[in-house]
Amino acid sequence: MDGNLRKSRRIFSWLGRREVNKRRIIVGLKSDNYSREMLLRLLHFVVVRGDSVLAVHVQKSDDSFDPNMFHIHEDLCKSKQVDFEVKICSGSCHITELSHQVRITFATILAVGCSDKCPKNPTISKWLKALPPTCKLLIMDNGGKILCQEMGTSQEGSCSKVLQPSISSLSEPSTHDRSGTRPLIRKSSSMPSPSTASTSQQTTTAKPENNINISPKLFHRLAMLEAKGYGRHFTFEELNCATKNFGRNMLIGEGAHSLVYKAVLENGQAAAVRVLKTSQYSEELFFREVEILSGLRHDNIIQLIGFCCCKKMYAIVYNLLNSSLKQRVNQLKWSERMQLAVGVAKALEYLHSCNPPIVHKDVNSSNILLSEDGKPQLSEFGVATPTHQPSPPKKPIHVIGRSGYLAPEYVMYGKVDEKIDVYSYGVVLLELITGKAAFQTSPVSNQESLVPWARSLLHCGQYERLIDPNLKEDYNKDEMRTLMIAARLCLLHSSSRRPTMKTVRINSPCDKMS
């Protein structure tokens, strides 16, 4: 009997600890757009999976508060598995009404807005004296920046009540609620799994320590993507833990615009976290890649898992692949090179067939990643561009791409259309044929760029000199000739004479491998 009693107590204690992790958060709302912006930022940066959010508006006689304008917030809460509810209270004092809601719902956080850049001490003192010591006060400005966070100082009420299981208070209106309070909207997600995020909002020091100013425009665009289920919004703490504090031993790649870390997510999934280096272009590159990848579904295109947008960093989370073509080109058998040529062609054909067509603009061997079975996946969509029609020729202000892969019309005039990807694909074919890098820096190389050297040999019909000696003549001669012809056509100086990716793929005999 004693053993069963002890066992029951242990189970009840465990359930009690589980329930404490489910926080009740109250947000004070006014009738202006700033309150909705503040609520949106709170849902992104403070609320975690498993929390329950109650948005409260204290109504006055001349109010025009519309409770039906929270569609984005509701969708965002569903995607984060967060309970969401809106209430309207009648009362003359915001502090009194909101502090009452804190007590009857056992809330642990109260968030309110402030139009001033620096809240006045007497106002803060009034709020703190009205809140129990178990509730944290968050004062946020119109942009959602936290100006103050302190625990309440009132001794009214028992703090032990907060530690009791309170499922009923989260799922239905409290029987202790005042008659002047009436719930209008109740939006609930599916039952959340145990939250792995800490209830503490302090951040851990790690290598990405930028002080990024997130624009409201970017914030709203990301909220819309997350609300539609196009990717998970990771917190900095989650990625910091997954990458072991962004340790050097987890760093697996570094480029001109980003650092790539290996990560193990909370569910055990291996992932790659690409942290963008801060620049004048980083915000636009970040959102463009997230937005484009969220709408793409193809076996030969990298899979977006989620993203992180916070004051410390912009980061994008992908499925983890073993290596890149640049790292393994000399180790690949001919059949693997053919599989890769077909896969990349399919990926580009898919992009160019989107409506509007998507131009990758940065196709190169470093951005073609390989899975364990050698399947290629195209990555790095930060400079990709949806294009309704070819852009008019002009002198480019900022040409982005890797030297050795760029089409001449893009370098000289900034012209962007699908044919610049076709040119870059032709360079990749040369790398597969020759085993050489697109841009040689070795002093023993006759040519720094692979294209002029290969063009001269193709023009003279000296095809054998192009073939990678590492293949040791173990290749299909018909397929080799087909790839050489395709490379020559893709690399034509005139973009109008280059084939489309659809033509390249249809004419390739290696389609039988797909």
Residues tagged in the binding site annotation = 277
Q: How far apart are CA 10 and CA 22, in angstroms?
A: 19
Q: What is the DSSP letter of 357?
A: -
Q: How far apart are CA 367 and CA 255, in angstroms?
A: 10
Sign of the C-alpha dihedral computed for residues 242, 244, 247 and 252 taken in this order: negative
Going by the annotation, the residues of the binding site for ATP are: 277
Active site residue 373: no
Q: What is the DSSP letter of 444?
A: T
Find the DSSP H helices in 329-414: 334-352, 408-413
Q: How far apart are CA 311 and CA 293, in angstroms?
A: 23
Residue with tokens 């930028």: 210
- Strand order of the β-sheet with 304-309 is 232-233, 304-309, 314-319, 270-276, 258-264, 251-254
Report the 10 Å Cβ neighbour count for 258: 21
Task: Tell how strand 314-319 and strand 270-276 pair up.
Answer: antiparallel
Question: How many helices (H) does the chain have, and how many strands (E)?
Answer: 16, 18
Write the DSSP string, 199-261: S--PPPP-S--------HHHHHHHHHHHHTTSSEE--HHHHHHHTTTT-GGGEEEE-SSEEEE
Q: What is the 3-state secondary structure (H, E, C) of 267-298?
A: CCCEEEEEEECCCCCHHHHHHHHHHHHHCCCC
Q: What is the DSSP letter of 40?
A: H
Q: How far apart are CA 40 and CA 45, in angstroms?
A: 9
Helix %, strand %, coil % of the chain (to 5): 40, 20, 40
3-state secondary structure of 368: strand
Q: How far apart are CA 507 and CA 387, in angstroms?
A: 26
Q: What single letter denotes the amino acid at residue 505?
A: R
Closest by Cα among 445, 461, 450 to 329: 450
- The token pair at 481 is 């000739």
Query: 362, 417, 421, 468: which is the annotated catalytic residue?
Result: 362
- The token pair at 38 is 């503040």
Torsion angle, alpha carbons of 185, 191, 195, 201, to 10: 0
Sign of the C-alpha dihedral computed for residues 68, 70, 76 and 80 taken in this order: negative
Q: How far apart are CA 132 and CA 136, in angstroms?
A: 9
Q: What is the DSSP letter of 151?
A: E
Give me the active site residues, please.
Answer: 362
